[in-house]
Each structure stands twice: as C-alpha cells, then as structure tokens.
C-alpha cells in the first residue's frame, strides 16, 4: 500500500512550553517524518508563495486575518494526481480549532 503525507509545519519562532523559542523543525514535520519512516510514505510539504512572517507574534496576526477572510493562500507547488496512493494523511498544526488556511488550499 502506498501512503502520501501532505503536511504544513512552521519552523523558526514558535510557542514552546510557555515561551517563544526558535526551532529548526516544526512539530508537524517531525510527525510526518515518523509516519514516513513507519510505513514508507511519500512526503509533500505545503509551502506558501508568500511566507508567514518570521516573528511568531506577527505570524499569528497574519494567520488570524487569513482565517477571518477564509483565504486560500497560493502555494509554491501543487499535487496534480493522487491516484497512485492508497492512503493520504493530511497533517498540520491546529490554529484556532482548524488547519492553517494553506492546508485548506
């Protein structure tokens, strides 16, 4: 069986255990890699054309505005065909009860 993991993950400034820290790899990317290693999945990282600000606090405001506007940020790449996959996992952080709008795109 062939599995695809489609994921969005934020690296850089993040809220970690009560404070803002700089991380090299986002939590969702780590989870996607675990899935890849466990079942031999292919990975597809969702990346936006207009990147979120490097500042965590500014990113929050940008992401909230996207949610309010029901935005569909443009992605750097899209998947044309998923028919070769038996299983598809969609992974991302939970921002205000939903995925980041880039995942919805």
Q: What is the mean pLDDT of residues 86-98?
A: 95
For 50-76, how does the pLDDT look when each residue is reduced to its tens digit (9 = 90+)?
999 999 999 999 999 999 999 999 999
Please tell me the pTM assigned to this model: 0.92
Delineate the domains of the chain, giving CATH numbers in brackets.
3-104 (3.40.50.360)
Q: In three state form, how does the secondary structure of the chain look?
A: CCEEEEECCCCEEEEECCEEEEECCCHHHHHHHHHHHHHCCEEEECCECCCCCCCHHHHHHHHHHHHHHCCCCCECCCCCCCCCCCEEEEECCCECCECCHHHHC
pLDDT at 15: 87
């Amino acid at each position: 069986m062939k599995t695809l993991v489609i994921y969005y993950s934020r690296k850089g400034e993040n809220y970690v255990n009560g404070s803002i820290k700089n991380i090299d790899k986002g939590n969702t990317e780590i989870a996607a890699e675990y899935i890849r290693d466990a079942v031999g999945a292919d990975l597809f990282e969702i990346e936006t054309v207009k990147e979120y600000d490097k500042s965590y606090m500014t990113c929050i405001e940008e992401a909230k505005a996207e949610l309010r506007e029901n935005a569909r940020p443009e992605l750097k790449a899209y998947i044309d065909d998923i028919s070769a996959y038996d299983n598809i996992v969609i992974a991302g952080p939970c921002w205000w009860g939903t995925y980041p709008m880039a995942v919805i795109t």
